[in-house]
Amino acid sequence: MREISYIEAVREALDEALASDERVFLIGEDIGIYGGGFGATTGLEEKYGSKRVRSTPISESAIAGVSVGAAITGMRPVMEIQFSDFITIALDQLVNQAAKIHYMYGGTMTVPLVMRAAAGSGTGAGAQHSQSLENWLAHIPGLIVVQPANAYDAKGLLHAAIANENPVMFYEHKVLYKEKMDVPREPYEIPLGVAEVKRVGKDVTIVATSQMVQFSLKAAEILEKDGLSVEVVDPRTLVPLDTKTILTSVAKTKRLLVVTEEVKQSGFGGEIVSVVAENEISSTLLAPIKRLGGAFVPIPTQQILERQAVPQVETIIDAVRELVGR
């Protein structure tokens, strides 16, 4: 173990995957000499050459199209979309091709590609570079959707994503890139579809995703001083969703708060709520389920307004206190 940042964990996983499997290659805008939009691929072109670390023109549709074609012919592409907002330009290739091919060919063809994308607000990057659109692709049968909330999970989940035979949408929150924690030096996989209880508690369950996991953990620390014990569950993957871990936690605490950064309206947080609401344990809850999400507005560039557009530590604290009547 040694302490490295989230972005370093991503780079290390890519390096290890390139070294261990000749079928793996990286593709995206400026990922070669420049090292990608956030530096995830720094030094990898020099190490593996431009055939395996392929810089492309500014065309997300071309990146996705090449990746789908390469995957169905036996390669394992890892495509980078600098900002997740620009999946909009690649949706036909991802939604109508990558997600459908295994089904349409009766299981005889696979599409083992990974789409890496930087998502989320917090950098003042504005309405076109700060969205959380993971729910769009979680709605599509045939796609796996992953959201690591820390460096340890980022490395292990990325290895699992690259090894998977299905198309994996891998969302990395740009604000988390600098966050550090202990990460093993050797390669390891975290199974897709397995949630983790990040903090054990008994009074309230918070199910949170991506950066909201870190916000929820900070809120739980503050609430502990008031005598409130908060359990924080991180699904880690939206698809497949580990409903068992979520239900087990809520059955224990009997209160649920769901926190996601995406726009609350029609967001994935509603799917998590329905998992509990449609289960028999719903009749044992001590309070109605609460859900926090982004405001129904484009993300502002001005950072004070940006913070008001998505849940913050303070709003999570207030919601927990309301749940327990304090």
- Active site residue ranges: 129
Nearest alpha-carbon partner for 198 in 239, 163, 152: 152
Instruction: State how far the Cα of 300 lies from the Cα of 127, in Å rounded to an integer.
Output: 6
Plot region of 313 (φ>0 → left; ψ -120 to 50 → alpha; else → beta): alpha
Largest Cα span, the chain: 60
Backbone angles phi, psi at 302, to 5 degrees: -65, 125
Q: What is the dihedral of CA 301, 168, 74, 55, to 10 degrees?
A: 10
- For residue 225, the 8-state DSSP code is T
Rg (CA), the chain: 20
182 class by beta-carbon count within 10 Å (0-12 exposed, 13-18 middle, 19+ buried): exposed
Nearest alpha-carbon partner for 67 in 169, 201, 214: 169
* Beta carbons within 10 angstroms of residue 120's beta carbon: 28
